[in-house]
Amino acid sequence: MRTQVAIIGAGPAGLLLGQLLHKHGIDAVILEQRSADYVLGRIRAGVIETGTADLLEQVGCAERMRREGLVHEGIEISFGGERHAINFQHLIGRSVIVYGQTEITRDLMEARAACGATTLYEAEDVTLHDIGSAKPYVTFRKDGVEQRLDCDFIAGCDGSHGISRRSIPAGIMQLYERAYPFGWLGILVDKPPLSEELIYANHERGFALCSMRSPTRSRLYIQCTLEDRVEDWSDARFYAELRQRLDERAIAKLEEGNSIEKSIAPLRSFVAEPMRYGNLFLAGDAAHIVPPTGAKGLNLAASDVHYLSQALIRHYHEKSASGLEGYSAQALSRVWKAVRFSWWMTTQLHRFPDASAFEQKIQRTELEYLAGSEHAQRALAENYVGLPY
């Protein structure tokens, strides 16, 4: 087989890149080790920045998001038993959209199928070859048959555990990581949200987040230890703990229901740089991970894809290598700003088990300053809705 760009991974990053390239007449084949049903079954975040929404518009995949997505003009931060509204629309004139990552993936899958572009699911033993050369290629096994895909470039969009980053020789990349001493226990439940906006709660017992996927489906989280196991948390225990961390208004609106999904996710910050080696380019979780507190994971993948697609379009249409040469530095500049914001949100809203009395006082003072300062709120707002590309 032969293509111009081999894309490894059929998550939102790989699918979005494939559609952007297809729109500009650039051929790409996507290889995904899992089945399409497995990819669609992954439950992920759903806060969409303006830039991500615009990219979906560009590839004709925003109609259902615009129709079914929930526009959010701000968030609410709860501490000391009170909620404080931070209105993005008032502060900076912008907003975000709550629309599940699963739904974005579905929309992109359908668009790719409709245009006849090639996605090979259940591609096993994917291996990248000669990535440092001008003629890279990929081998894999599909339906028991060994195959080879020759290409000009490889886009590694296969996540933190994928083959792409692991294919880069040792000593090339610098890795930066911060592991946090807690995780998020989250449930998905068919009950209406507690508020029109997301509620981020700081409490002496730990962080809580009340989010949503639709007007009738809520996504609820509580901070837990890294030793906790999902099977130790019945729905009744989860709700009892959540109630202790919320303000009275939120508690009054909380409707308990049977969870339809429950999971624990550890939190960490991770960046690998550079995001390029030879003709292999990393995008999304293959290059960086952020804690979900700042709602940046999917949106960072989208901004990577924006920069990479523009670089490839310039290469093929203008015969210019400048975009490809500058891709890593350009993407990382925005990545690190999002990493900083996600770290800041995480440190301000969670309870750290080893925090001193002084550190707890500083955290509370920071939250009080945020609640009373429009300048501080504006800085949060511009980062939350997404810095410009």
Q: Active-site residues: which are they? A: 72, 200, 292, 296, 384
Alpha carbons 142 and 119: distance in angstroms, whole number: 12
- Dihedral class, residue 60 (left if φ above 0, else alpha if ψ from -120 to 50, else beta): left
Alpha carbons 95 and 7: distance in angstroms, whole number: 31
Alpha carbons 330 and 38: distance in angstroms, whole number: 32
Q: Per-residue DSSP letters for 47-75?
A: EE-HHHHHHHHHTT--HHHHHHSEEE-EE
Q: Per-residue DSSP letters for 267-318?
A: EEEEEEE-SEETTEEE-GGGTEE--GGGS-HHHHHHHHHHHHHHHHHHHHHH
Residue whose entry in the numeric block shows the structure tokens 């081998």: 139
Read off φ and ψ for residue 38, nearest 5 degrees: -65, -45
Q: Tell me, what DSSP letter sits at residue 45?
A: -
User: Which pair of tokens denotes residue 136?
Assistant: 């890279």
Could you tell me which residues come within 8 angstroms of residue 114 by beta carbon, excluding any fewer than 6 positions away? none
Alpha carbons 253 and 161: distance in angstroms, whole number: 39
Alpha carbons 39 and 32: distance in angstroms, whole number: 9
Read off φ and ψ for residue 334, nearest 5 degrees: -75, -35
